[in-house]
Chain A
Amino acid sequence: MIHVNNLSYSYTRDGRFAVKDISFDIKKGEIFGFLGPSGAGKSTTQGILTGLLQLQKGDAVVDGYDLHRENKKRFNRIGMSFEQSNLYGKLTAEENLRYYAKLFDVPTRDPRQLIDMVGLGGKENMKAGAFSKGMKHRLTFARSLLNNPSMWFLDEPTTGLDPAIAAQIKDIIRKECDTGVTAFLTTHNMFIADELCDRVAFIVDGEIKLVDSPKALKLQYGHRTVAVEFKEDGDVKKENLAPATGEGKARLNQIINDCEIVTMHSREASLEEIFIKVTGKGLTADETVE
């Protein structure tokens, strides 16, 4: 669905690249996650693939259209959910979708049904300008589905939403992609990536460090850890142990035999921990993790 080869992009064209020589492929029906800290180059990559930014260096084919050749028709099959909502504040929710739908040459979905789907039912006649930030975001998200896109770009689809609504959005993404829609999702939220994505790419400073499925990454890099709370000499103590290593296993056995266990949790390594391990960088902040 997407083939990207040696793609580079510089805003300043002075040799400083926001995206450096990246390559990856996305299969049809796949949910592909682009993970990285702020400023890593996620939106830039997405911008090139959607055509908002001009292709400078490298090759990219999206949905069968070579991006070296401009073709407005391809937008009939593309949906884009923007990180920052962009709506006509003076139009109602329904008018917003209706007007946008008219710009496509293909059959479009019923605006009301989409509005209901993102939980804005009953508010279709409200002006979008009077919406809260989260409501605007949901309407922008709903708009991206109007033309039944086969290639769906999602920029931070759940950021800033309350957890219940975020879960709802996640379900919609899951359901749409089950019908064969391909999704390219950027986020710095590892839980979303973990739960939604078939494969993820780790991107830092414009470079892709690795591409794999979350499950495979956990098998390769993650260690299951066990958090134990126990009483020793009258004090309650806490330790994190990795039973997969010999050292951790021995210590765990020792505690179980000698001490009184208060609590014991088995914990899977999170994608975030793996990200830090692989890239040496944190996800939310730019500082290097020691």
Chain B
Amino acid sequence: MKLWNNYLKELKIASRGFYFYMEFVMAAILLVCILLFVPAEIINVSQEAIYVDMPRETLDAMLQQSFGETGRYERAEDTKVKLSPADIVYYDEQTGEKFEMSFSDKKTLELETWYYYNAATGAHEKTLYITESMDDLVRVAKAEKWYSTVVQAGENGQMQYKLLLFGSESERYQNLISAVMDTENLPALTQAADDLEVVALGTENVLNNRESYMPLAIVIMNGLMGMLVVIAYLTIDKSSGLIRAMSLTPMHTRSYLLSKVMVVLTTSLISSLIITVPVMGVQPNYLLFVLVVLLVAALSCMLGLWIASFFSDLKSAFGVLILFMVILMFPALTYIIPSFSPLWIRLMPTYPMLQAVKETLLPSPDTGYVLLACGGMIVVSALFLWWSEHRYKKSLGV
């Protein structure tokens, strides 16, 4: 009851200060940025150049038939590409044979362009550029970094696809190519490449691109703000001598620290909702979401309190605080690039924070994991509260 009164008091005092609104302003700015600059879907249109070393009818037939089931090609406006003089080296995908070519002229190509639409989603997935000579294919592919394919008649009259490699393709792409070498099947190959992309983004296709940034935004904002603001509140009290006046009342140190933390939890929750509701709508499980956000903010506050207890004022604590924040943000890397997930990163508190926030945003969250993470955060928060309390008891008054 007393804690509640104290919290209301602190809330009222904080609401007359600058830090209280700083969080909301930050949240609003973040929301605007997310809505304006982070697209809901990454439009990932693959670009392919092709040279068909066969009669035109063959090409037309291919455009009409080859993907009939899964999609369709539509003629688009021609694309202009400027070519400059260049020395180009490329390799035959199958034999590994090396070719060297040298071009000294400048020219502009008008490439016949086709769009490929997925039959199921209707999405424009690929753009196909048709070149009229092998030379043009090599130059365009090199200059624009497009996939490039030569289609030739095989010995038994079948169409044969051959990729050009320039030695600068990513390792992943090269591995992929060697893996599917024997199939000689370009559609399968590009499909495999697309699948790999999906895995690499780690969104499991449930959060769209914009939504998948929400856990990051929430954890960074709450973590950063939680630490900074709670310490700002404490330092204000300390430098004004108010903390001495407080410590000469029956109020317990813990009660004092908690009432400050509760104010920060309030602002953190509000600012998290400010950015989450407009982006996520009704999809998240808000009960779980609120729980996780509060615990994320609580743990950050406790860590901040603990760090600050080693310093006499905010200024001297600042460097170490920033260092801690940077280190704690390493799991963000793993979140973005799941293939980079060493054990030491997974052991950091921000890792389960990110994963737990993400779960709550999914249509069907893994409640067990979320509750486990919550339990962990409660335990660690309590530990740091106890530790900080112990440290502040000694130095609160001085």
Residues of A within 8 A of B (CB): 47, 50-54, 72-73, 75-76, 78, 80, 82, 84-91, 99-100, 102-105, 143
Contacts and interface: CB of A to CB of B under 8 A. Distances in A.
Contacts of B249: 75, 100, 103-104
A46 to B, nearest CB: 11
A103 B251 contact: yes
Nearest to A86: B241
B6 A102 contact: yes
Given A82-B244, A102-B2, A102-B5, 10 more contacts: A52-B244, A52-B247, A53-B397, A80-B245, A87-B240, A90-B13, A91-B16, A100-B245, A105-B250, A143-B245
Contacts of B250: 72-73, 75-76, 103-105
Interface string B223-249: 000000000000000001110111111
Nearest to B249: A103
A84 to B, nearest CB: 6
A52 B247 CA distance: 7
A69 to B, nearest CB: 14
A81 to B, nearest CB: 10
Contact of B398 (A53, A80, A88, A99): A53
A75 B242 contact: no
Given A52-B244, A102-B6, A103-B6, A90 B16 contact: yes
B9 A51 contact: no
23 contacts: A51-B247, A51-B397, A52-B248, A52-B398, A53-B398, A72-B251, A73-B250, A75-B250, A76-B250, A80-B245, A80-B248, A82-B244, A85-B241, A86-B245, A89-B240, A90-B16, A91-B16, A100-B245, A100-B249, A102-B2, A102-B5, A103-B249, A104-B249
B187 interface: no
Q: Dominant SS at the A interface? A: loop
B17 interface: yes
Nearest to A143: B245
Interface string B1-13: 0100110010001
B269 to A, nearest CB: 23
Nearest to A85: B241
B145 interface: no
B105 to A, nearest CB: 75
Contacts of A80: 245, 248
A102 B248 contact: no
Contacts of B75: none
Given A51-B247, A105-B250, A87 B5 contact: no
A154 to B, nearest CB: 13
Contacts of B17: 90
Contact of B9 (A52, A54, A102): A102
A47 B397 contact: yes
Rank and list the top 8 A-B pairs by shortest CB-CB distance, nearest first: A86-B241, A52-B397, A103-B249, A90-B16, A103-B251, A72-B250, A75-B250, A99-B9
